Chain A
């Protein structure tokens, strides 16, 4: 394998990892604040991708401007869906046992996946890359797909923004406090249900963004939600639930791992997330960043 191929794979794997991070960080964030693992997070991401497809058919040209509209419009639509999910459904089960919460999100997987199938059908689809991002860029004498490079720029921006939001703003302080001391927040005069709703919306916004970005990276189909939710699970098993840094590391490991394992193993590389998950469970059952607990 040449040096160039290696770089090419590296960029490809990194962009896959960044995309996974955008989705998994939403899952992790929602868990941190709401203490609910949202099994429907992958379905929400899929909804985002298909919504992007539909919106793109309305925008006839492939200009970057139209793509920008896609990026700006679709994630908020998904966030609004999230608003309704949270206020109408999730809110009712916060005080219930885990079993009930898990089953609720599982019911949403059944519903959303089938709604997507009924509306869009089972065909492969994609959103054409905008002209500005369709070609390739020259880097060190290599032609790298502009779109992958674009994702490599968007991913860190999201990561830094999330970090800034969580650690440098008042809202972030509240969210982090909600993670650590869920009971005392109400006493401090913070509207806890508002924090929860907006966190859930943020999580859905991230899933929606992941969907839009994915729609132009590869073909989208009905299996994509399940695929990404399981990769996200692998990410949280590796990095620990509720940790943004852990989500970033886990995502990059999986993105790079799947890409590089494609060389020797072909399509079997898709099994990589499962193996790394099993490995982490054997070596450090509490996750790479977690602490041993009983």
Chain B
């Protein structure tokens, strides 16, 4: 469809002969806030790794904005407008919070080969970085070394770094993993808030079902090497296949 920003088409992947996905297909409409759920080991993060180019699919196509990105280099995919935040915090730990963002925007604006201008003199980029930090509530920590921040703040920074890329599609891998209930709520509110303000497409993986059913417009259940079900939160919560799969896993 024309307004699908991401189309996963008949994707297959196996590791050492053991299939992880068999002919998985789904598509994500532009502007959607949706989630992928599934039991442990269902391959949610692997799916993200395939979409972002970290892994190469064995078969199938991944269309991003109509372009097949399967097999492309991750950094090229990023440049097309896809960004990602990680499950384990994935920041530049020995750089300041501000530098984390400045470096990201420098990359976004393709200034990485500029060896003559001091990066500190890039006023606009610094300004923009501060704006982003303000929008996620990290502005007063801008000059802290990012590795010394609390875990929750580091995860927020990870998201801020992804936002600095001004993506069309943002993938969030368990944005609230390892957070306290309070931080969780803040993060979820932040994500929902950003989605509304920035008008971008978001896809996230999450374990906390309250969060998933609270904010997703659409939920996809990844199980048995394929997409088991797809629909609105109401449809998913009444889908007996899903209930079975989840009960089967938890018993």
Direct contact between A and B in the complex (CB less than 8 angstroms)? yes
Q: Is B225's CB within 8 Å of the partner chain A? A: no
CB distance from B62 to the nearest CB of A (A): 15
Q: Is A294's CB within 8 Å of the partner chain B? A: yes
Q: Is B53's CB within 8 Å of the partner chain A? A: yes
Q: Is A189's CB within 8 Å of the partner chain B? A: no
Q: Is A264's CB within 8 Å of the partner chain B? A: no
CB distance from A179 to the nearest CB of B (A): 15
| Bound Cα distance from A108 to B53, whole angstroms | 40
Residues of chain B lying within 8 A (CB to CB) of residue A294: 53-56, 74
| Bound Cα distance from A294 to B56, whole angstroms | 9
Residues of chain A lying within 8 A (CB to CB) of residue B74: 294
Interface string of B35-60 (1 = CB under 8 A from A): 00000000000000000011110000
Q: Which residues of chain B from 48 to 87 have a CB within 8 Å of any chain A CB?
A: 53-56, 74
| Bound Cα distance from A123 to B54, whole angstroms | 53
| Bound Cα distance from A294 to B55, whole angstroms | 7
Q: Is A292's CB within 8 Å of the partner chain B? A: yes
| Bound Cα distance from A292 to B54, whole angstroms | 11
Residues of chain A lying within 8 A (CB to CB) of residue B55: 294
Interface string of A27-50 (1 = CB under 8 A from B): 000000000000000000000000
| Bound Cα distance from A90 to B74, whole angstroms | 36
CB distance from A8 to the nearest CB of B (A): 43
B73's nearest neighbour on chain A, judged by CB, is A294
Q: Which residues of chain A from 264 to 294 have a CB within 8 Å of any chain B CB?
A: 292, 294
| Bound Cα distance from A21 to B55, whole angstroms | 33
Residues of chain A lying within 8 A (CB to CB) of residue B56: 292, 294
B16's nearest neighbour on chain A, judged by CB, is A291
| Bound Cα distance from A294 to B54, whole angstroms | 6
| Bound Cα distance from A233 to B56, whole angstroms | 28
CB distance from A21 to the nearest CB of B (A): 26
CB distance from B11 to the nearest CB of A (A): 17
B55's nearest neighbour on chain A, judged by CB, is A294
CB distance from A262 to the nearest CB of B (A): 40
CB distance from B14 to the nearest CB of A (A): 12
B53's nearest neighbour on chain A, judged by CB, is A294
Q: Which residues of chain A from 98 to 156 have a CB within 8 Å of any chain B CB?
A: none
B49's nearest neighbour on chain A, judged by CB, is A294
| Bound Cα distance from A292 to B15, whole angstroms | 12
Residues of chain A lying within 8 A (CB to CB) of residue B54: 294
| Bound Cα distance from A294 to B75, whole angstroms | 11
CB distance from B147 to the nearest CB of A (A): 14
Residues of chain B lying within 8 A (CB to CB) of residue A292: 56
Interface string of A218-259 (1 = CB under 8 A from B): 000000000000000000000000000000000000000000
| Bound Cα distance from A292 to B57, whole angstroms | 12
| Bound Cα distance from A294 to B73, whole angstroms | 9
| Bound Cα distance from A294 to B76, whole angstroms | 14
| Bound Cα distance from A292 to B56, whole angstroms | 9
Q: Which residues of chain B from 208 to 245 have a CB within 8 Å of any chain A CB?
A: none
Residues of chain A lying within 8 A (CB to CB) of residue B53: 294
| Bound Cα distance from A62 to B196, whole angstroms | 87
CB distance from A293 to the nearest CB of B (A): 9
CB distance from A181 to the nearest CB of B (A): 15
CB distance from A183 to the nearest CB of B (A): 15
| Bound Cα distance from A294 to B53, whole angstroms | 9
B15's nearest neighbour on chain A, judged by CB, is A291
| Bound Cα distance from A294 to B74, whole angstroms | 9
CB distance from A36 to the nearest CB of B (A): 24
| Bound Cα distance from A188 to B54, whole angstroms | 32
| Bound Cα distance from A177 to B127, whole angstroms | 52
| Bound Cα distance from A198 to B202, whole angstroms | 51
Interface string of B8-34 (1 = CB under 8 A from A): 000000000000000000000000000
CB distance from B3 to the nearest CB of A (A): 30
| Bound Cα distance from A242 to B186, whole angstroms | 46
| Bound Cα distance from A292 to B55, whole angstroms | 9
| Bound Cα distance from A294 to B77, whole angstroms | 14
B54's nearest neighbour on chain A, judged by CB, is A294
| Bound Cα distance from A294 to B50, whole angstroms | 11
A291's nearest neighbour on chain B, judged by CB, is B16
| Bound Cα distance from A246 to B213, whole angstroms | 51
| Bound Cα distance from A292 to B58, whole angstroms | 12
A293's nearest neighbour on chain B, judged by CB, is B55
B74's nearest neighbour on chain A, judged by CB, is A294
| Bound Cα distance from A85 to B1, whole angstroms | 64
Q: Which residues of chain A from 41 to 70 have a CB within 8 Å of any chain B CB?
A: none
| Bound Cα distance from A292 to B71, whole angstroms | 12
| Bound Cα distance from A74 to B10, whole angstroms | 60
User: Which 6 A-B residue pairings sit nearest by Cβ, starting from the closest?
Assistant: A294-B54, A294-B74, A292-B56, A294-B55, A294-B56, A294-B53
Interface CB pairs A-B, < 8 A, 6? A292-B56, A294-B53, A294-B54, A294-B55, A294-B56, A294-B74
Chain A residues proximal to chain B, CB less than 8 Å? 292, 294
